[in-house]
Structure 1
Amino acid sequence: MLWLWNVLILLATVVVMEIVAALSHKYIMHGWGWGWHLSHHEPHSGKFELNDLYAVVFAGLAIVLIYVGVQGLWPLQWIGAGMTAYGALYFMVHDGLVHQRWPFRYIPRKGYLKRLYMAHRMHHAVRGREGCVSFGFLYAPPLSKLQAALRERHGRKINEDAATDQPDAARKNSRVK
């Protein structure tokens, strides 16, 4: 029966991590941690950006929790495993699907994945750290609510190309040339 508790702890941690990540994104990354996160909101040409250090910090914390859990504090290893699972989902959805940092390109045309994709595009529709919408990574509010919030806050001053389903690579290439 212990395996059931382990699975429940892991799954609960994935859910809690979405909340932690959204709050961290809004209040840390777009707050006092903007120095690292700024690199994510500007065009860049390399494979890595300073913002990737946030993933390193969370991965380090997960490793410590797994280690301490294996040493005897049982639930911590499963919390660390849940953080690791969330990190893998984040990497697939945010870095792969949304920002096209993988060698293949896929732009979802309908359903949940399109909603996630478009919500994050709208997050990047604002230049700078103020007035952004949609801070989660695996949950996205309805797109109509995000569009209304952007219009209310910025009118037509938003970065229109970031609010489309055009991938980052295509937008960057069109600016570089």
Structure 2
Amino acid sequence: MIKAIGFIALGFACMEFSGWFIHKYLMHGPLWIIHKTHHQPSKSFFEWNDVFSLIFGSVAVILILLGIDTLDYRFWMGVGISLYGLLYFILHDVMVHRRLKWFDRPKNTFLKGIFKAHQAHHKTNLKDDAVSFGLFVVPKEFFKNEEK
């Protein structure tokens, strides 16, 4: 059971760090043609950028299917990637972008930091001027308390 939890945590952490790298260097690089739809106003619920979620989700499904017979590390890493994807959907698509109106703006300091970092990321519609590329790997200045 400890190994399973470790592999879940590893899958989750790998998603955050690979997601940060892919977002910074590929999505804001050669894959900008797809990702820019996320930085432009849209009246549609879906955008071309959602293709990336399908790709990451496919990796999780493949790992789960490859490891389901023996519940080996592939299964648990797929579970970790899936948990990351679920949390990403809730924080990014629901809380920050409000694609579904389930929650109000966050009041928790940590969630407010994530929210502010993502808002800063979207201050520009240009590929080269963005900051803060991770969901949890966020520059610490976004977690400073606001003065009242």
TM-score, normalised via structure 2 length: 0.90
Does the aligned pair in 2 maintain the 1:93–1:138 contact within 8 Å? no
Offset from partner CA, 1:116-138 (integer Å, 9 cap, x none):
00000000112211021000012
**Gap runs ≥5 in structure 1:** 146-177
Q: Which has the larger radius of gyration?
A: 1
Alignment match, 2:119: 121
Alignment match, 2:54: 56
Offset from partner CA, 1:65-122 (integer Å, 9 cap, x none):
1111124571111111111010001001110111011123411245000000000000
Q: Which runs of 4+ in 1 moved over 3 A?
A: none
Partner secondary structure for residue 130 of structure 2: coil
Question: Whole-Å Cα distance in 2 between the matches of residues 105 and 92 of structure 1?
Answer: 9
Match of 2:82 among 58, 75, 84: 84
Partner secondary structure for residue 131 of structure 1: coil
Q: 1:14 Cα shift?
A: 0.9
What's the C-alpha RMSD, in Å, of the aligned pairs? 1.7
- After superposition, residues 1-177 of structure 1 pair within 5 angstroms as 3-72=1-70, 74-143=72-141
Question: Whole-Å Cα distance in 2 between the matches of residues 73 and 113 of structure 1?
Answer: 33
Bigger share in helix? 1
Corresponding pairs, count: 143
Give the direction of change, closer, same or farther, for the CA distance of 1:110–1:72 in structure 2 (3 Å limit). Answer: closer
Structure scoring higher RCO (CA < 8 A, sep ≥ 6) equals 2
TM-score, normalised via structure 1 length: 0.76
> Partner letter of residue 50 of structure 1?
W
Partner secondary structure for residue 29 of structure 2: helix
Does the aligned pair in 2 maintain the 1:13–1:83 contact within 8 Å? yes
Question: Whole-Å Cα distance in 2 between the matches of residues 12 and 56 of structure 1?
Answer: 20
> Partner letter of residue 46 of structure 1?
S
